[in-house]
Amino acid sequence: MLGTSYLSLWQTMLLVTTFFALGGMITVHPFNSPFQLSFAPVIFSSLLMYFRRLSVEYTAFFGSIVMVILRVVTDVSTSNMELMEILLERAPTFFFYIIYSIGFNLTRVREQRDNVLMTVMMLTICDGFSNAAELAMRGELFSRPADVTFGILAGVAIARAVMAVFICYGLREAQAVALAEEQVAHYNELTLLIAQLKAELFYLRKSSRDIEQVMVDSYGLYQEMQNCQCREQERHLLVADQALAIARNIHEVKKDYQRVVAGIEKVLEPSEGDRKSLLSGIFQLIEQNARRVLAQRGADVSLQFECRQDFWTDQHYVIVSILNNLLINAIEACGDKGAIQVSESIEKDTVIFEVQDSGCGIAEADRELIFQPGYSTKFDRRTGAMSTGLGLSHVQNLTKLLGGQVVVTSGETGGTHFYISIPTVRLIA
């Protein structure tokens, strides 16, 4: 069930509808009448609380139709009743779930799912009222003592509500565990990656020393040419020797950089069994990092993340890099107080990432310059250090590599909105 996040909306609905309809075949007859109590409401409410992007109305409509069809087929094969008589007997079941879905929406169960007591109460009301409505349609609501009828309905409603909440929380906990395990695995991979990258730092440091030596030799050559009073032939020999030494050092630098580039490419190249990540898990990782940065700064900045359409991706490193750079930029823009919103959605064949902040904004004259390497208007007020100005340039380069684009808008009174669009074929695994 946890793996359904990579399915499309309709595929997820089909799966939920199937479970929902099959749950309707597990029934009891508490009143020795055609009225049935089934396990279906438990599945219906728990899965709709878990898969919050599903339409309650559509799921109830299609699921109840499938359930009624299954029950009708069963009745036709096991009883001597006429088809029309069977259909009339099973029709109230359809209306039970329509009424239940209306109550589910009106009581805003999804919005209150983190409040266990309130969720159980709302589901109990939905269940009890829908069962009472079905009994009324069948003319059975007052055919027996009210205390017996309503006592059974209330007990069943509470039991099914508790089971639905328990299942929903179980699914959420299982997802949290799966995401935690995934993050641990990524952390381990990252540790190994860092260890390998640190090994490449040796050659970068060596290259820095070689570059410094080239600069020293070049300046020495200049001084020799300026001060040399020797004969022309000796001067040419001296210049040739020093030029050769400079060329040799430059070649050494080139070799070291080629070695480093090759080493890093080998470390970062995807393996055949490279792991995929859920976007919701990536969002959790980025949010944790952003909150850690805010805590270090002591800033009062609210964060809101919304993953509207979850999916699996093998471009997790790229997404983390893009969104993390935009978030750090937004945090710097907000300063000591503000609000940041990060959201994702899918429109046709494009994945949309949006990062909005309530910060100081970007002047119109600067908007064409912010993606240039080294350009920055931000500095750390505690240290006075300027920003490197590489974050937004990096964002744009990564986005272009994935065939996407970055659009930025900013209000005159403040606030900035980054809009990143990337083709789904480049992100969704």
Pairing of strands 312-313, 277-278: antiparallel
- Same domain for 366 and 298, yes or no, is yes
Q: What is the domain extent for residue 59?
A: 2-180
- Same domain for 222 and 99, yes or no, is no
Q: pLDDT of 76-86, one tens digit each?
A: 887 777 888 87
CATH number of domain containing 157: 1.10.1760
pLDDT over threshold 90, residue 419: yes
Rg (CA), the chain: 33
CATH number of domain containing 292: 3.30.565.10
- Same domain for 229 and 305, yes or no, is no
Domain stop point among 180, 208, 243: 180
Q: Which of 161, 159, 130 is nearest to 64 (CA)?
A: 130
Q: Has this prediction a pTM greater than 0.85?
A: no
- Same domain for 161 and 192, yes or no, is no
Per cent of the chain over pLDDT 70 is 71
Domain stop point among 239, 268, 297: 268
Predicted local confidence at residue 389, as pLDDT:
44
* Structure confidence at residue 139 as a pLDDT band (50, 70, 90): confident
Place of tokens 């190994």: 192
pLDDT over threshold 80, residue 285: yes
- Same domain for 300 and 345, yes or no, is yes
- Same domain for 290 and 373, yes or no, is yes
- Same domain for 232 and 104, yes or no, is no
- Same domain for 217 and 353, yes or no, is no
- Same domain for 82 and 222, yes or no, is no
Domain stop point among 234, 268, 302: 268
Predicted local confidence at residue 355, as pLDDT:
94
Which comes out higher in pLDDT, residue 200 or 315? 315
257, 390, 401 from 394: Cα distances, Å: 21, 6, 11
Would you say 378 and 392 are in contact if contact means Cβ atoms under 8 Å apart? no
Predicted local confidence at residue 50, as pLDDT:
84
Q: State the CB neighbour count (10 A cutoff) for residue 59.
A: 23
Integer Cα distance of 204 and 215 in angstroms: 17
Count of domains observed in the chain: 3
Predicted local confidence at residue 381, as pLDDT:
47
pLDDT over threshold 50, residue 100: yes
- Same domain for 23 and 134, yes or no, is yes
- The two three-digit tokens of residue 14, written as one number: 């089909």
Predicted local confidence at residue 327, as pLDDT:
92
- Same domain for 221 and 327, yes or no, is no
- Same domain for 366 and 305, yes or no, is yes
Q: What is the DSSP letter of 274?
A: -
